[in-house]
Amino acid sequence: MEHYLDNSATTRPSDAALEAMTRAAAVWGNPSSVHHAGQEAAALLRESRKTIAKALGVPFFGGDKIIFTSCGTESNNIAMLGCAAAKKRDPVNPGTVIISAGEHPSIDGPASLLAKQGYNIVRIPTKHGVLDLEALESTLNKGISPVVFAGFMLVNNETGAVYDVKSAAKAVKSKYPDAVVHCDAVQAFGKLKFTPSSLGVDTLSVSAHKIHSVRGAAALFISAETIKRKNIVPVMPGGGQENGFRSGTENLCSIASFAAAADEISKNFDENRARVLNLRALLDERLSVLDITVNRPDGDFLPHIASITVLGIRSETMLNFLSGRGVYISAGSACAANSKKKSTALEAFGLEPDQMDSTLRISLSHMNTEDDIVALCEGLALGIASLQRKKG
């Protein structure tokens, strides 16, 4: 019996998402072709876009655009690099890019690339999972070069902290109205209620495989105003698909699956949330009996993600132990696990390096059951007993 509790890394595709993928496989025409086979594919693509727009609360027939991409990483890169490429800028002093210190590597990485191109990169700290809005204000009031891009994630993938993107966006926009304010909502989609306009952002990313769709699709929302002002331009020349922002023949199987999953999570939002809240309450109760520290954000957080520190046992050791028992969780975040980079999100909790080395991430979905939580906590208890004994 397997117990999958790593839903922030990826999720099991739902039946509806798998069926939509299979149905779309039969619609194999190229959506850009004018003949009937192509137009059938174009119709499915249009329907899918409409569904994603609805799930994101974006009017379908205005100038706002939903661009399909292959993954959240690509959506974030298109927003950031497309903004950097948009305007003719002073090569010596092209401007300032603001991001939070806890961003995913798909935002932090392009920021480092832009630093090499001369941009001034400012990383706003997070304290115990709370975006430091005072630090943002003081950055904005300093004599910095004009802000061209600001990116804030809505939910942190390692701790579940919900960042106050609305206030951050307002602060940036009031000083720099022409800056592109971006939100990485990959971990928030389907778990929090928001729309790009309720957050006051110009661009926003979501990814299919985090919401029980098959992999291979994601979306980037770009507001009508951003397009009108040419604040983002395409960075990948080609056939001009996706309004020119993402050339390349669309992956219709994954896109249709993404739409089916988005429709499902939107319709079942309240029920799913109640289920996860119950599972989280059980998890918290069991962890407190085991005397395990939960790195709980000081502010708002998503019940789906729990960061825990099991002192004295390296996270990889515990992960392998649990995996041997069919219980799957992760260390920090799946992407960070591939690099030796320190986690700024965890550091902001005041964790020492040895504590960070012993930190695990449990991520829940509405597909989990109480049995999964019980199996995890039994595994943790056994792991603590046997791995600490081996050490001693």
Place of tokens 């960061």: 307
3-state secondary structure of 205: strand
337 makes contact with ligand PLP (CB under 6 A): no
Q: For 284, phi and psi rounded to 5 degrees?
A: -60, -40
For ligand PLP, give the closer residue by CB, 184 or 263. 184
3-state secondary structure of 38: helix
Q: Do the beta carbons of residue 218 and residue 75 sit within 8 Å?
A: yes
13 makes contact with ligand PLP (CB under 6 A): no
For the chain, what is the total number of helices (H) and then of strands (E)? 14, 14
364 makes contact with ligand PLP (CB under 6 A): no
365 makes contact with ligand PLP (CB under 6 A): no
157 makes contact with ligand PLP (CB under 6 A): yes
81 makes contact with ligand PLP (CB under 6 A): no
Q: Measured from the CB of residue 299, what is the shortest distance to ligand PLP in angstroms?
A: 17
CA 116 to chain centre: 25
207 makes contact with ligand PLP (CB under 6 A): yes
Other CB atoms within 10 A of residue 247 CB? 14
Q: Which stretch binds ligand PLP (CB under 6 A): 19-27, 183-191, 290-298, 339-347?
A: 183-191
d(CA 32, CA 243): 12
Place of tokens 């550091």: 347
DSSP class per residue in 129-177 = TEE-HHHHHHHHHSSPPPEEEEEEESB-TTT-BBP-HHHHHHHHHHH-T
102 makes contact with ligand PLP (CB under 6 A): no
206 makes contact with ligand PLP (CB under 6 A): no
Q: Which stretch binds ligand PLP (CB under 6 A): 37-45, 83-91, 184-192, 279-287?
A: 184-192
335 is known as an active-site residue? yes
Q: Measured from the CB of residue 215, what is the shortest distance to ligand PLP in angstroms?
A: 8
Amino acid letter for position 238: G
72 makes contact with ligand PLP (CB under 6 A): yes
187 makes contact with ligand PLP (CB under 6 A): yes
Residue number with the smallest Cβ distance to ligand PLP: 72
For ligand PLP, give the closer residue by CB, 184 or 250. 184
Q: Do the beta carbons of residue 204 and residue 69 sit within 8 Å?
A: no
Of the residues 71, 183, 253, 335, only one is catalytic, namely: 335
Q: Which stretch binds ligand PLP (CB under 6 A): 65-73, 169-177, 189-197, 285-293?
A: 65-73
d(CA 288, CA 18): 38
Q: Which stretch binds ligand PLP (CB under 6 A): 43-51, 58-66, 179-187, 191-199?
A: 179-187
307 makes contact with ligand PLP (CB under 6 A): no
For ligand PLP, give the closer residue by CB, 113 or 144. 113
d(CA 279, CA 258): 25
For ligand PLP, give the closer residue by CB, 148 or 208. 208
106 makes contact with ligand PLP (CB under 6 A): yes
Q: What is the DSSP code (8-state) at residue 339?
A: S
d(CA 291, CA 282): 14
Q: Where are the alpha helices (DSSP H) in 210-325?
A: 224-228, 252-267, 269-289, 315-324
For ligand PLP, give the closer residue by CB, 154 or 375. 154
Q: Measured from the CB of residue 119, what is the shortest distance to ligand PLP in angstroms?
A: 21
3-state secondary structure of 296: coil
For ligand PLP, give the closer residue by CB, 207 or 358. 207
335 makes contact with ligand PLP (CB under 6 A): yes
Contacting residue, 52, 81, 181, 186, with ligand PLP by CB under 6 A: 186
What tokens does 248 get? 């390349």
d(CA 36, CA 24): 15
The residues of the shown chain that bind ligand PLP, judged by CB under 6 A, are 71-73, 104, 106, 153, 157, 184, 186-187, 207, 209, 218, 335
Active site residues: 335
